[in-house]
């Protein structure tokens, strides 16, 4: 949790070097929040099925990757990517680590678990900004030493995860229920970030991710429509489904054309990206837990 707020005091130092202003700084914070929400939506319950340790170990490795990206970042796109990945691992840690502590402590120590969890989460968030500010003020290498130190601190954290007993015994690798919105949201976030950074390869990669999410959602939608329809009216139900699906491909294009007449094109695409992301997020979070296979 400390690593989530560690870079905040350094943005003022990076802004002049990378040439970004207040809006990009706001976007950096928004990307972090988006990654956290996406992780909570897609991965929060995954450790209940595949185990605590795999998720925690993956989160530590994701933390190391995002920290390495902060070390290498010399453009806005890399900074946004690092921040997005940082948000994802924060979402995984928040749910999984607390659940693991609860398993290990037992039902009779729930009050202690909640106290330790709160102290770790809120304490880490507060200490991150303090540590980042201290390194920025007194460190020899203003924007790198803090991340090297944090990477060193991840080594014992990873070892602690490895030696911690696994508490989930019945493992199930079924994860399709929220895979579609997860791919879609991640793809939109990646290509939108790189659109601002003017990076074609990563824009294409984000498009591929989003396209994967669309295809997964479309396939599951067709299957759901077939099962829900009266056998005598299957074609009618499917035609309605396809009508809404293809309407969804037309509306954003028309909206972008209209917005582009009055505001900057980058801002227009950002508005549409937020709308596209909000739709599957709201759907996934409000959907019943019983999945349609």
All structural domains of the chain with their residue ranges: 2-163, 176-286
3-state secondary structure of 7: coil
Radius of gyration of the chain (CA): 21
Rounded Cα distance between 209 and 195, Å, is 15
pLDDT digits (tens, 9 = 90+) for 175-189: 455 667 777 777 777
Q: What is the pLDDT of residue 287?
A: 57
Q: What is the pLDDT of residue 156?
A: 93
Rounded Cα distance between 67 and 278, Å, is 28
* Least confident residue range of 33-42, 43-52, 173-182: 173-182
pLDDT over threshold 70, residue 114 = yes
Rounded Cα distance between 53 and 43, Å, is 13
- Mean pLDDT (whole number) for 87-96: 84
H/E element, 51? none
Report domain 2-163's class: mainly alpha
The pTM of this model reads 0.61
């Amino acid at each position: 949790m400390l690593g989530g707020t560690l870079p905040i005091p350094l943005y003022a130092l990076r802004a002049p070097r990378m040439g970004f202003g207040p809006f990009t700084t706001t976007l950096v914070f928004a990307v972090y929040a988006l990654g956290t929400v996406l992780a909570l939506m897609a991965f929060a319950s995954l450790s209940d099925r595949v185990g605590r340790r795999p998720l925690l170990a993956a989160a530590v490795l994701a933390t190391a990757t995002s920290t390495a990206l902060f070390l290498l970042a010399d453009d806005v796109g890399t900074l946004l990517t690092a921040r997005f990945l940082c948000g994802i691992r924060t979402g995984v840690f928040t749910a999984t680590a607390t659940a693991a502590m609860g398993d290990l402590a037992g039902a009779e120590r729930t009050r202690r678990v909640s106290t330790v969890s709160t102290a770790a989460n809120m304490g880490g968030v507060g200490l991150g900004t303090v540590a980042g500010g201290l390194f920025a003020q007194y460190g020899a290498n203003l924007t790198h030493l803090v991340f090297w130190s944090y990477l060193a601190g991840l080594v014992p954290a990873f070892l602690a995860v490895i030696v911690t007993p696994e508490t989930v015994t019945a493992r199930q690798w079924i994860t399709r229920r929220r895979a579609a919105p997860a791919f879609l949201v991640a793809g939109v976030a990646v290509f939108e970030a790189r659109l601002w950074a003017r990076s074609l390869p990563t824009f294409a990669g984000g498009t591929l991710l989003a396209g994967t999410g669309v295809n997964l959602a479309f396939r599951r939608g067709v299957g759901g429509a077939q099962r829900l329809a009266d056998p005598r009216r299957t074609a009618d139900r499917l035609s309605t489904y396809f009508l809404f699906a293809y309407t969804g491909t037309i509306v954003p294009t028309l909206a972008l054309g209209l917005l582009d007449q009055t505001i900057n094109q980058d801002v227009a695409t950002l508005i549409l990206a937020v709308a596209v992301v909000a739709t599957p997020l709201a759907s996934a979070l409000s959907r019943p837990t019983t999945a349609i296979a």
